[in-house]
Amino acid sequence: MRSVPLPRSVVRLTAGAASALLTVAGLGAAAVPSVAVALPAPVPASAHAPHVFTHRSATPPTTADCEAAIQIACYSPNQYQEAYEVDDLLKAHIDGRGKTIAIVDAFGSPTIQKDLDAFDKAFGLPAGHVQVITPVGAPPVFNGNDATQVGWAFETTLDVEYAHAMAPGARILLVETPVAETEGLNGFPEIVKAENSVIRHHLADVISQSFGATENTFANPKRDIAGLRSAFKEAAEHHVTVLAASGDDGATDATADGNGTYPYRVNSWPSSDPLVTSIGGTQLHLDAHGDRLSPDVVWNDGYGAGGGGLSQVFARPRFQNGVAGVVGSHRGTPDISMTAAVDGGALVYLSFPGLPAGFYIVGGTSEATPIFSGIVAAADQVAHHDVGFINPALYALRGSGRAGIVDVTAGNNSFAGVTGYSAKAGYDLASGWGTIDAPEFVRALARR
Under CATH, domain 10-447 is a member of which superfamily? Peptidase S8/S53 domain (3.40.50.200)
Q: Note the pLDDT of residue 132.
A: 98
Q: Are 307 and 280 in contact (CB under 8 A)?
A: yes
Q: Is the pLDDT of residue 37 over 60?
A: no
Cα separation, 10 vs 324, whole angstroms = 37
Q: Is the pLDDT of residue 32 over 70?
A: no
Q: What is the pTM of this model?
A: 0.91
Where residue 258 falls among pLDDT bands split at 50, 70, 90? confident
Tell me the per-residue pLDDT of 99-116, one tens digit each, with 9 for 90 and over: 999 999 999 999 999 999
How far, CA to CA in Å, does 153 sit from each of 56, 91, 192? 21, 32, 20
Q: Would you kindly state where each structural domain of the chain is located, as residue ranges?
A: 10-447
Q: Is the pLDDT of residue 6 over 60?
A: no
Average predicted confidence (pLDDT) for the chain: 88
Where residue 448 falls among pLDDT bands split at 50, 70, 90? confident
Where residue 11 falls among pLDDT bands split at 50, 70, 90? low
Q: Note the pLDDT of residue 12.
A: 47
Where residue 228 falls among pLDDT bands split at 50, 70, 90? very high
* Out of 67-71, 92-96, 230-234, least confident range: 67-71
Per DSSP, the three-state class of 405 is: strand
Q: Note the pLDDT of residue 280.
A: 98
Q: Which amino acid is at 27?
A: L
CB atoms within 10 A of CB 185: 16
CB atoms within 10 A of CB 93: 9
Where residue 25 falls among pLDDT bands split at 50, 70, 90? very low
DSSP state, 432?
Answer: B
For residue 415, list its beta bridge partners.
418
Q: In what order do the strands lie in the sheet with 345-350?
A: 10-12, 358-362, 345-350, 74-75
193 burial class (0-12, 13-18, 19+ CB within 10 angstroms)? Answer: middle
Nearest-Å Rg of the Cα atoms of the chain is: 19
Type and span of the H or E element at 87: helix 86-91
Strands (E), 297-357: 297-298, 309-315, 330-333, 336-339, 345-350
Cα separation, 40 vs 235, whole angstroms = 46
Q: Note the pLDDT of residue 345.
A: 94
Q: Are 387 and 273 in contact (CB under 8 A)?
A: no
Where residue 69 falls among pLDDT bands split at 50, 70, 90? confident
Type and span of the H or E element at 372: helix 365-383
Tell me the per-residue pLDDT of 161-200, one tens digit each, with 9 for 90 and over: 999 999 999 999 999 999 999 999 999 999 999 999 999 9
Q: Are 427 and 325 in contact (CB under 8 A)?
A: no
Where residue 8 falls among pLDDT bands split at 50, 70, 90? very low
Cα separation, 419 vs 401, whole angstroms = 31
Q: Is the pLDDT of residue 158 over 90?
A: yes
Q: Note the pLDDT of residue 59.
A: 78
